[in-house]
Amino acid sequence: MSETVARPAQDVRADATGPGELRPVTVGPTGKGSATGESSGTGGARPGRWSRARADGAARTGLDPRAEAVGIELRDLRRSYGDVTALDGLSVTINPGELVALLGPSGCGKTTALRALAGFERPDSGQILVGGDDISAVPANRRDMGMVFQAYSLFPNLSALDNVAFGLRLRRVNPRARRQRATELLELVGLGHAGRRYPHELSGGQQQRVALARALAIEPRVLLLDEPLSALDAQVRASLRDEIRSLQTRLGITTLFVTHDQEEALSLADRVGVMRAGRLEQLAAPEVVYAWPATPFVAQFVGTVNRLPGRTVAGDLVEVLGQRLPAVQLGDAPASGTAAVDVEVLVRPEAVVVTARATGTAAGAVDPTPQDPTAATRPVPITTTGALGQVRQRTFRGAVTRLRVDLLGLTARGTAVGLDGEPASATIVADIATAQATGLHPGSDVLVTLADRPVLVSDPAAAH
């Protein structure tokens, strides 16, 4: 997939210090609610006005796409609890109608960011703009945001229907209208039949559906999803994930989704923001985050990546496993063009080519035509050498088979494999099409080469 999105990494790297670079575009048909940064300077908090406006809107029935979608901008948010810094100058911009996922390891501040947007946390400093208005001072119960929590957030004393109707009840919608609307929403999430059941009579997945319906019932300006799938089992998780996405697209509601599950983030979001230590490392389309990570941290956190020792050579090339490949620098990698520098080369498992090698072949004798037919049709690489290895482990994963290969040494004129001069027998992980993995078993002697594509390089020290 990386070929389709191959772009210079610099263009997509999130730049936290320059918010102007990622200014949102107003796409709302009414033209209202421009989310550009400039409008925020004049727009104060006007909670009373817009919350009342939404209250009227909530009385509407029908589930048309939203008349207006608002943009969100978090500006330089900071929040610390004693010694712990949860947000360290976080800036995120979400375009109207967009679904942005914040992804990061636990403790990276993603949940704090969402809770700050919802109004449950007060940032120490920074601004939160919704539709151009700074809502930092607006209390949570007047922010008009629909939120779905991790689990157990349904009111246990109310039936599914009453749960969904809760927000409408607070908005004094008359009982018949709110009942009707709640029923519609339950049908929308596929639970039209379960309106009379109480939360403990619903499965985990059903509970989260009701929670979603409840959040949508108030026609919120913003939908906030706080790891809503993490307590569910795998199958329910996948189906609910797809449903959330299709509902969100249909309603066109601006959505912030927080998760520690990269698979969820990449498959669900328009753009993924990878967070670390209270800051945004990269905010970009899932494909871009995967193929062109902005920092070594992103590269490692999103997907599996092999880190191989390499050496830059003239002409923006890097020498790795005895091959010379075009290099794209990332993060704090040394400047290109200088003399040979040790670097770390980041390679995804699917870019590793493993081919069988007749046992007993002396090191150095390399078959120049790999058995991989697709590889064979490619233009001849800069170098035809590769690394010798032995398959240690083989894991069947459906369409692909993952191989763990111990690198034994280099063929021909390569240098020793290893970091810091250690001739370690490092391990490399390769995903190859299962059809081509038939002859490869633990113990098989193989030749490891890299697909002839540009590779990412970084400073070895920065990667750790």
Question: Does residue 402 bind other proteins (CB under 8 A)?
Answer: yes
State phi, psi for 29 to the nearest 5 degrees. -65, -30
Residue from 301, 327, 352, 403 that binds other proteins (CB under 8 A)? 301
Question: Closest distance between other proteins and the C-beta of residue 255, in Å?
Answer: 14
State how far the Cα of 464 lies from the Cα of 456, in Å rounded to an integer.
Answer: 16
Cβ neighbours around 373 below 10 Å, total: 8
Question: Closest distance between other proteins and the C-beta of residue 118, in Å?
Answer: 6
CA distances from 69 to 124, 181, 458 (A): 28, 21, 40
Question: Does residue 143 bind other proteins (CB under 8 A)?
Answer: yes
Residue from 260, 276, 324, 357 that binds other proteins (CB under 8 A)? 260
State how far the Cα of 402 lies from the Cα of 428, in Å rounded to an integer.
Answer: 10
Residue from 95, 153, 282, 385 that binds other proteins (CB under 8 A)? 153
| Axis-axis angle for helices 234-251, 204-217 (nearest 10) | 10
Residue from 227, 281, 344, 459 that binds other proteins (CB under 8 A)? 227
What six digits make up the tokens of 2? 């990386």
Question: Does residue 111 bind other proteins (CB under 8 A)?
Answer: yes
Question: Does residue 233 bind other proteins (CB under 8 A)?
Answer: yes
> Given the complex with other proteins, which of 111 and 355 has the nearer CB atom?
111
Question: Does residue 281 bind other proteins (CB under 8 A)?
Answer: no
**Binding residues among 37-56 for other proteins as defined by CB under 8 A:** 51
- Cα-Cα end-to-end distance for the chain: 27
Residue from 21, 38, 155, 340 that binds other proteins (CB under 8 A)? 155
Residue from 89, 107, 126, 381 that binds other proteins (CB under 8 A)? 107
- Residue 425's contacts (CB-CB under 8 Å, 6 or more residues apart) are 406, 407, 408, 417
Residue from 122, 193, 196, 378 that binds other proteins (CB under 8 A)? 122
Stretch that binds other proteins, among 161-169, 181-189, 354-362, 374-382 (CB under 8 A): 161-169
Question: Closest distance between other proteins and the C-beta of residue 319, in Å?
Answer: 22
Kindly determine how many residues on this chain lie close enough to bind other proteins according to the rule CB under 8 A.
75
**Binding residues among 432-461 for other proteins as defined by CB under 8 A:** none
Question: Does residue 393 bind other proteins (CB under 8 A)?
Answer: no
C-alpha closest to that of 179 among 164, 200, 198: 164
Stretch that binds other proteins, among 2-10, 28-36, 226-234, 384-392 (CB under 8 A): 226-234
Residue from 303, 381, 409, 418 that binds other proteins (CB under 8 A)? 303
Question: Does residue 243 bind other proteins (CB under 8 A)?
Answer: no
> Given the complex with other proteins, which of 26 and 264 has the nearer CB atom?
264
State how far the Cα of 70 lies from the Cα of 28, in Å rounded to an integer.
Answer: 7
Element housing 384 (H / E): none
Question: Does residue 214 bind other proteins (CB under 8 A)?
Answer: yes
> What is the residue-wise DSSP string for 410-429?
E-TTPPPPSSTT-----EEE
Task: Give the CA dihedral 23, 296, 351, 366, nearest 10 degrees.
Answer: 150
Question: Does residue 417 bind other proteins (CB under 8 A)?
Answer: no
> Given the complex with other proteins, which of 288 and 429 has the nearer CB atom?
429
> What is the residue-wise DSSP string for 14-83?
--TT-GGGG------TT--S---GGGGGT----HHHHHHHHHHHHT--S-PPPS----EEEEEEEEEETT
Question: Closest distance between other proteins and the C-beta of residue 259, in Å?
Answer: 9
State how far the Cα of 209 lies from the Cα of 200, in Å rounded to an integer.
Answer: 14
Residue from 73, 98, 121, 452 that binds other proteins (CB under 8 A)? 121
> Given the complex with other proteins, which of 9 and 147 has the nearer CB atom?
147
CA distances from 315 to 303, 335, 339, 414 (A): 29, 12, 10, 19
Question: Does residue 392 bind other proteins (CB under 8 A)?
Answer: no
Question: Does residue 206 bind other proteins (CB under 8 A)?
Answer: no
